[in-house]
Chains A and B, each alone.
Chain A
Amino acid sequence: MKILVVCGNGLGSSFMMSMNVQKAMKELNMEGTCSHTDLASAKTENADYYIGAPEIMDQLNDGNRKIISLVNMFSMDEIKKALTTHVLEGR
């Protein structure tokens, strides 16, 4: 499974978020990889799930991509909860 964390520039926030997502994946015993990129590249890169701030996710949401919006991007609790409901329970 591949998770892609996205932000406007693909340098700062998405990078930090991806470090937390990786940590959360480990704690939840999830297999897979997580990388980060900018919005323009994300539109051409395939992933099983896309994670980012709501405004960024709005622009990626084309009805086909599985997106996960995070309001507080750096809260480990929110990341874990999102991964559990979206990925593990498949909602």
Chain B
Amino acid sequence: MLRLIMNDILGTPAILVGLFALIGLLLQKKAIAEVVSGTLKTIMGFIILGAGATVLVGALNLFGQMFEEAFHIKGIIPNNEAIVALAQETFGTETAMIMVFGMIVNILLARYTKFKYIFLTGHHTMFMACMLAAVLAASGIKGPLLVAIGSVILGALMVLMPALLQPYTRQITGSDDMAVGHFGSIGYFVSGTIGKYFGDKEKTTEEIKVPKSLGFLRDSSVALALTMALMFIIVAAFTGPTFIEKELSGGTNFIVFSLTQAITFAGGVYIVLAGVRMVIAEIVPAFKGIADKVVPNAKPALDCPVVFPFAPNAVIIGFLSSFVAGVVSMFILPIFGLAIIVPGLVPHFFTGAAAGVFGNATGGRRGAILGSLANGLIISFLPALLLPVLGSLGFNGTTFGDADFGIVGILLGNLLKLF
């Protein structure tokens, strides 16, 4: 009986998250029909997540092979959804446990310390839980100790990162009612700080005319398919038709093959996104419901696009500057003997845009441009430096994209080496 509970119920991550969703739904006193459908959908979400991983892993491997054949160096695609989906086979249980206990630590810290933040960006909570599980496991920690350490770190980050940004967030929103809860915080903090010292906030980005035509990149599946298509085709041109058609595509034309693989990758990520959405759909409202009851004056810490409407021009300028820094970094990384991080439109769009808004709030145009350039460098170098501490997970050709995953993973991984 104990074996059934420990191995088969708690050891099957899909069932485990379903159980958490069930508890959350019961705590919110939902009707029986909602409890049943919510629990089933959560379990299904986890299974969809795994299915997405199966779709994208093939394209990821092919990209890696083509890249190495062409440039004799590793090319890595930073994509949170991809690496989290791939990690679930090994670290599914740990991820789910750290996610839920991390939320409890968040509520306790918000209740008993002056950091009243409730971190509502559920997918980032899940991704960070997964990153922590991988780094801790790579350092030889396992079982309850892994879950305990991971949950405490996660819960602490969920209040500390919004708190770190809050002085700047206040300048953007003009109020203290809400916070930014997104694990790209270090990039935004650096951007805000650069703006403060090197910019002039009177000369805001919102006075200049910026073309709106880049708005279609907000559609992340389009943006991802586009980046991957460009990258695959450029790399394919360097790899050459002979190798691809003989070794990889089974005779299909190398450009057509690369294009379909690129879009297969984007399709896989789309599936993973749908899965993640279902996994967090019941857990986050339960978390919020409990937090609202337990923590007086709780401040919601929200996903980064919450700041976009405050400076729409800074969003575009920030994205472009960050992306330029990402492209430049691609050529600098190998000089330091690091893997090449292929710049993605999605991470540069979301975190570059937010960095632009932070830089603009403290330092106007110059702040937005310089701050987002810095963000672009950060999200190129940190993911490369993170790879060695991820253990076997680091060999899949993908890595975590946003700044905080990098900084936390690198610090934690190297700290654990001292013991």
Q: Does A29 contact B (CB under 8 A)?
A: no
Q: Is the CB of B303 within 8 A of A71?
A: no
Q: Is the CB of B122 within 8 A of A15?
A: yes
Q: Does A7 contact B (CB under 8 A)?
A: yes
Q: Is the CB of A12 within 8 A of B215?
A: no
Q: Is the CB of B219 within 8 A of A59?
A: yes
Most-contacted residue by chain A among B219, B273, B300 (CB, 10 A) = B219
User: Nearest CB to that of B221 among chain A residues?
Assistant: A40
Q: Is the CB of B218 within 8 A of A59?
A: yes
B270 / chain A contacts, CB cutoff of 8 Å: 40
Most-contacted residue by chain A among B221, B276, B277, B350 (CB, 10 A) = B277
Most-contacted residue by chain B among A40, A56, A58 (CB, 10 A) = A40
Alpha-carbon separation in the docked complex, A39 to B215 (Å): 12
Q: Does A72 contact B (CB under 8 A)?
A: yes
User: Nearest CB to that of A20 among chain B residues?
Assistant: B300
Number of residues from A at the complex interface, CB < 8 A: 26
Q: Is the CB of B215 within 8 A of A19?
A: no
Alpha-carbon separation in the docked complex, A72 to B121 (Å): 17
User: Nearest CB to that of A40 among chain B residues?
Assistant: B221
Q: Is the CB of B300 within 8 A of A58?
A: no
- Knowing A38-B220, A40-B270, A74-B178 are in contact, say whether A13-B305 is a contact too (CB < 8 A): yes
Q: A residues bordering B, Cβ < 8 Å?
A: 7-13, 15-16, 19, 36-41, 53-56, 58-59, 71-74
Complex A-B: 18 CB contacts under 8 Å: A7-B305, A8-B305, A8-B349, A10-B273, A12-B121, A12-B182, A12-B303, A13-B303, A15-B277, A15-B281, A16-B302, A37-B277, A41-B274, A55-B308, A59-B215, A71-B309, A73-B305, A74-B300
Q: B residues bordering A, Cβ < 8 Å?
A: 120-124, 178, 182, 212, 215-216, 218-222, 270, 273-274, 276-277, 280-281, 284-285, 288, 300, 302-306, 308-309, 312, 349-350
Nearest 4 CB-CB pairings of A with B:
A12-B303, A39-B219, A8-B218, A40-B221
